[in-house]
Structure 1
Amino acid sequence: MAEIAEKQNDQGKRLTPWQLFKEVFNWYPSEYPSAERKLLFKLDLSILVFACLCFFVKYLDQTNISNAYVSGLKEDFGLYGNQLNYLNVCYYTAYVVFQVPGLLLMSRPNLARWLLPTLEVLWGIATFATCKTTNINQLYAIRFIIGMLEAPVFAGTHFILGSWYGGHELFKRAGTWFICNALGTMVSGYLQAAAYTNLSGVGGMAGWRWLFIIDGVFTIPVALLGYVIFPGVPDSPKPFHLTTADIALAKERLARFKVRRPGPLGLDVFKRSLQRWHIYVFVFCYIAMICSSYPLSYMSLWLKAEGYSVVQVNRLPTVTYAINIVASWLGTTLAAIYPSWIIYTIVTVCCVFSTICMIIWDIPTGLHFFAWYLYGVYGCASPILYSAVNTIVRDDSEERALILGSMMTIGYSFNIWVPLLVFPTAGSNGAPRWRKGWPFILVWFVLLWLGFVAAIVLHKRDQKRKTVYAGTGPVGDSETDTQVSEDAGSSADGEVAVVQETPVLKA
């Protein structure tokens, strides 16, 4: 442990470019015992592989409706009003309602292994069914069902990651996992372009209908893989690829990272959560994130309005998602090395610049493209925020699940009504000009930054209070244990922590 402490101290100092490069790719630190490095590798092959594939097909299925809309669905169904927004409202209404129940179920060890794969099988079937819809009302119903089934995936995966990993490990894995958001959205655009070009009329179906069949073909095998390799949480029934020693080591690691394992689930979780600042600040941050991010994925509407071809409308926005992939991985990794508020500041400045360009609007076409693509850096904002939640609230598993679910519930509830008022599809204030929408998100970008910085400041205050209490608190009997403590690797503020061995006196 002294070697880990020394390395963490060195990381806290200024890194040379070569040291920084090595640290970015250092997933299995050499100072870890061999058994721990092997465990991390097994977890990456099970949790991270399934989580990435699951998240990839989720966003493939979630964004296919927008790609289908601009690739023939609008004309086939005669959708010349606000129907695209209404489809999103149906999806997000179900998404909101089932967040907290889904996350609390995810915190139950006996359910955690099977919940995500089962939900994925069901939404894959619903995705297949979309290709046979004949009117908008059927689409509304299916989008509601898919939203219900996909509800626990995003925050639930963050909860699972926070139940196995800690510190710099958590930030790096969360960033790598989150790239599948952009990857799924990007691939959906390429698939729709290919389906429109090569499958239109095949089997008597339009190209946009084939997109849902292709998405379903991706989804079902991933779900079946989850039944085999997904481990749930450390207290779940043991999967075949983890030994009894692996599970024991995983639980030991949780104690080292001060991550409390699941306990009884009762109404008191609501009481104790509401008495702490975490739920209020983090829910506010996610509201800001949702309100500021809505139009960022609708570059396709601008391209369509500018007269670009269907293939270009589906392909050109994928550059944003490519940038998003790099930002999600690199930005979150750097937040495990440097203070994360610095990363958030850089992201905010980029997004504010792009939004000012959109507010002005009458700018050169090249600058328009640059502004749309620059929004891709926003990709790291979400995984850093959720990793901070997992780090700061690591001492209460049920509260952590409730906060993650509440963030999604309350945050996405704004997606039900804000788009209808601020981001209408048609009209003088409609897409993609959004005369009210672009100033609206400018304010929320700034509020998100303020909320995140507030969380860092409050967490540091709490840590100082705990330190003072530990130094002056009552002492019990003379029995002493040694507890390895690590302030979550990067801690909540992104600074590399010092692993230290401190005596814990039992009362």
Structure 2
Amino acid sequence: MSEVSSKPGKSALLSLFKEIFNWYPSHYPSEERKLLFKLDVSILIFACLCYQTNISNAYVSGLKEDFSLNGNQLNYFNVCYYTAYVVFQVPGLLLLSRPKLARWLLPGLEVLWGVCTFAQSRVTTVNQLYALRFLVGMLEAPVFAGTHFILGSWYSGPELFKRAGTWFICNPLGTMVSGYLQAAAYTNLSGVGGMPGWRWLFIVDGIFTIPVALLGFLIFPGIPGSPQPFYLTESDIALAKERTRRAEIRRPGKLGLDVFRRSLKRWHIWVFITCYACMIICSYPSAYMSLWLKAEGYSVTQINQLPTVVSAITIVASWLGTTVAAIYPTWVIYTIASAFCLFSTLCMVIWNIPRTLKFVAWYLFGFSGCLSPILYSTVNTIVKDDSEERALIMGAMMTFGYSFNIWVPLLLFPTAGPDGAPRWKKGWPVAFVFYFLLWAGFVSAVLLHKREKRGEIGTAPSETSVENTETIVIENSLNSKTGCFEVLNG
């Protein structure tokens, strides 16, 4: 009897396992599977190679001592960066929504970013570093949300969620790589050419950046309607346009001020920018495990390497969480990840806990890795009927969210002082509250969209057809009998 009853469970688990790794469904025509592979290679490889990080690692690995930095100057570096990051978000995303610009914009910005990275290795004053951090923020502004916009222009349903999660891992992966590079530079290159190890990190980052940018000019496809790259045939382009038609992803239209008027009248922009602002505020302190390790007296090598465990967990959570979210209800996955983050934040609020538990708390913050890609994939899915509005919302999310990074760190997360890093007596309780508000905002968006779809189905039942079930909108579930998806007609 037990053997018989265990078979359905094993079958469901096997179906789930197959679905997680099923990027190219067998029921797709071979031409469509080939197109997906081409897009994966061109978009994901370029986007994943774009991400690296260096200023925090450089700060704890010699920059602070070489420039006699004190107080909140690390926060001031970030303020310069995020000020530019905020200002250039919406313009960058709207430009990226233009087919003729979309293919060249990100690679061009990456070239300039590499130049600024090299320049940071030669700074002689703090003011020069402030200026370069501003330029880096300006050049990086459209990369994150812009890549999500690009993905949402080519993919839909489970395809989109899986690729958004896979791409998102490039951020923690870049953090991991930079951490190991900084440890290697500090150990092996310090003093070479008369330069300390932290300067060599910027040089190594620049060496990696320029070839990636040049590669982007060749392979990055932009959006459907952009100048055709060499590896996409005319039939590929026709198929891509047909796929967007089936998924009801509207192609870009004329860009004008009307996009602001119609976007502000809908609930989407208000809910999503609020969600992202909550995400930015609550997640800020979790990125500074290195400051806690420095305060605890760990070595420079340990300071650079131990936080990479958080990055590793973030990678797994991002990939697995978004993949499962393409199968099961997204709000369930969001709730599980949010619960881990709330637990970790509560541990930091209490603070006086065993060191082992504090390590566990720092590492559990890695489960937040799936929150951002699920949120952006949800935006791409819900606002697929208006390309310009989708670009505006994604840019506005980054602008509104990161505008808090200009002043919130100085108020709630100071580097120095009795309430400074990493204790943050005011900051950790605030982070707890905003983790909860992020979860509540996301669930509200899911409910609002479901109510909106029910209203559309009720008023226009004749417009719903089997052919329009390409896109899984929000609540996907695996049918236990057939292994097929139950989809919400879009």
TM-score by length of 2: 0.95
Give per-residue Cα distances to partners, 1:378-409, cap 9 Å, x unaligned. Answer: 00000000000000000000000000000000
Give per-residue Cα distances to partners, 1:98-146, cap 9 Å, x unaligned. Answer: 0000000000000000000000000100000001001111110000000
**Could you tell me which amino acid in structure 1 is paired with residue 158 of structure 2?**
H
What displacement does 1:299 show? 0.3
Matched, 1:219 2:215: no
Give the percent of matched residue pairs that are identical in Structure 1 and Structure 2.
71
Find 2:334's aligned residue among 333, 344, 347. Answer: 344
The aligned runs of 1:134-149 (5 Å cut-off) are 134-149=124-139
| SS of residue matched to 2:347 | helix
Find 2:40's aligned residue among 25, 28, 44. Answer: 44
Q: Which residue of 1 aligns with 2:347?
A: 357
User: In 2, are the aligned partners of 1:340 and 1:495 still within 8 Å (CA)?
Assistant: no
Find 1:422's aligned residue among 407, 412, 415. Answer: 412
CA distance in 1, matches of 2:198, 2:44: 31
Find 2:105's aligned residue among 115, 121, 124. Answer: 115
Q: Which residue of 2 aligns with 1:485?
A: 468
**Could you tell me which amino acid in structure 2 is paired with residue 133 of structure 1?**
V
**Could you tell me which amino acid in structure 2 is paired with residue 169 of structure 1?**
E
| SS of residue matched to 1:488 | coil
What displacement does 1:52 show? 1.5
Give per-residue Cα distances to partners, 1:31-68, cap 9 Å, x unaligned. Answer: 011111111111111112112212x3xxx1xx310000
CA distance in 2, matches of 1:304, 1:346: 31
After superposing the two structures, state which structure 1 stretch, 317-326 or 463-472, moved more.
463-472
Matched, 1:66 2:56: yes
Q: Per the alignment, do residues 80 and 499 of structure 1 end up closer, same or farther by CA in structure 2, a change over 3 Å counting?
A: closer
Q: Per the alignment, do residues 501 and 369 of structure 1 end up closer, same or farther by CA in structure 2, a change over 3 Å counting?
A: closer
CA distance in 2, matches of 1:71, 1:182: 19
What displacement does 1:26 show? 0.3
Q: How many residues are treated as equivalent by the alignment?
A: 476
**Could you tell me which amino acid in structure 1 is paired with residue 134 of structure 2?**
F
Q: Which residue of 1 aligns with 2:121?
A: 131
Q: Which residue of 2 aligns with 1:3?
A: none
**Could you tell me which amino acid in structure 2 is paired with residue 31 of structure 1?**
H
After superposing the two structures, state which structure 1 stretch, 185-194 or 384-393, moved more.
185-194
Give per-residue Cα distances to partners, 1:407-452, cap 9 Å, x unaligned. Answer: 0000000000000000000000000000001001000000000000
CA distance in 2, matches of 1:177, 1:442: 27
**Could you tell me which amino acid in structure 1 is paired with residue 461 of structure 2?**
G
Quote the RMSD (CA, aligned, Å): 1.7
After superposing the two structures, state which structure 1 stretch, 401-410 or 32-41, moved more.
32-41
TM-score by length of 1: 0.92
CA distance in 1, matches of 2:168, 2:288: 20
Q: Which residue of 2 aligns with 1:242?
A: 232
CA distance in 1, matches of 2:432, 2:328: 26
The aligned runs of 1:441-452 (5 Å cut-off) are 441-452=431-442
CA distance in 1, matches of 2:287, 2:188: 25
User: In 2, are the aligned partners of 1:94 and 1:144 still within 8 Å (CA)?
Assistant: yes
Give per-residue Cα distances to partners, 1:194-220, cap 9 Å, x unaligned. Answer: 100000100000100000000001111
Q: Per the alignment, do residues 275 and 53 of structure 1 end up closer, same or farther by CA in structure 2, a change over 3 Å counting?
A: same
Give per-residue Cα distances to partners, 1:233-278, cap 9 Å, x unaligned. Answer: 1100111000000000000000111100000001110010011000
Unmatched 5+ stretches in structure 1: 1-12, 474-480, 503-507
Matched, 1:374 2:364: yes
What displacement does 1:186 show? 1.0
Find 1:402's aligned residue among 373, 392, 397. Answer: 392
Unmatched 5+ stretches in structure 2: 1-8, 479-484
Find 2:446's aligned residue among 456, 464, 476. Answer: 456
Find 1:180's aligned residue among 157, 161, 170. Answer: 170
